[in-house]
Amino acid sequence: MFPKTQVQRCIVHKVRHSLQYVTWKERKAVAKDLRAIYGAATLTEAEAALARFGETWDAKYPAISQSWRADWTRLTVFFDDPPEIRKVLYTTNAIESLNFSLRKLLKTRGAFPIANGVSGSAEAALPNDEAILKVLYLGLQRIEKKWTMPIQDWKRALNHFVILLGDRVTL
């Protein structure tokens, strides 16, 4: 449906998952070494940092670097983009928040408007696609009013999105 789509796994979630294997005493040190991977300036530097991480921690926590290597192509998509938009791309928190809000809208609805204004039949009482889309559209309007951008340097990132994606970005 969207042929130009690039899939970027959430780095924040990957780090959290990785730290599940680590004892409390060593969490800060492991997190620092993981930060060297995703905080690298280039993909080559990130690969070198992953190799160093493996040399340092594979004896104790081999599952971490194995997991990062298995997901490497999906974890490093954001290295194709300028540093100004990497912060926006390496976490999926904003998307997850939006999805949660939309699921909440649909979950709390006991019934949708009756289709085609016809009542009395069981078929007419079922929600149709148009009714669901209306609920989601109106919900998005309400969510958008409350939504604040907690992302640092959002304006600079937005400018880079316009440059990179052109007409795919609407303001």
Say what angle helices 27-38 and 11-19 make with each other, to 10 degrees: 150
Over range 144-154, report the average pLDDT.
Answer: 71
Residue 131, pLDDT > 90, answer no
Compute how many other C-beta atoms are within 10 angstroms of the C-beta atom of residue 73: 10
**What percent of the chain stands above pLDDT 70?**
82
Report residue 105 CA to chain centroid gap: 20
Q: Which of 36, 64, 79 is the last residue of a domain?
A: 79
161 with 91, same domain: the answer is yes
Domain finish residue from 26, 44, 79: 79
pLDDT class for 150, splitting at 50, 70, 90? Answer: low
The confidence score (pLDDT) of residue 1 equals 62
pTM comes to 0.66
Return the closest-CA partner of residue 69 out of 81, 82, 58, 80: 58
Is the same domain home to 68 and 90? no
- Asked if residue 164 belongs to a domain, the reply is yes
Does residue 120 carry a pLDDT above 60? no
User: pLDDT class for 112, splitting at 50, 70, 90?
Assistant: low
Place of tokens 């905080």: 39
103 and 69: one domain?
Answer: no
Q: How far apart are CA 15 and CA 65, in angstroms?
A: 11
pLDDT, position 101: 84
More reliable by pLDDT, 171 or 19:
19
Mark whether 104 and 61 lie in a shared domain. no
pLDDT (0 to 100) of residue 49: 97
Q: 62, 79, 96 — which closes off a domain?
A: 79
Do 94 and 45 lie in one domain? The reply is: no
User: In this structure, are 108 and 151 located in the same domain?
Assistant: yes
Beta strands per DSSP E along the chain: none
**DSSP labels for 6-31?**
-----HHHHHHHHHTTS-GGGHHHHH
> pLDDT band at 127, cuts 50/70/90?
low
- The whole-angstrom separation of Cα 125 and Cα 137 is 21
- Condensed to tens digits (0 to 9), the pLDDT of residues 29-61 reads 999 999 999 999 999 999 999 999 999 999 999
The reply to whether 162 and 106 lie within a common domain is yes
Domain that holds residue 97: 86-168
Burial tier of 36 (Cβ tally within 10 Å: 0-12, 13-18, 19+)? middle
Q: What are the distances in angstroms from CA 47 to CA 37, 38, 52, 132? A: 7, 10, 9, 45
Are 117 and 156 in the same domain? yes
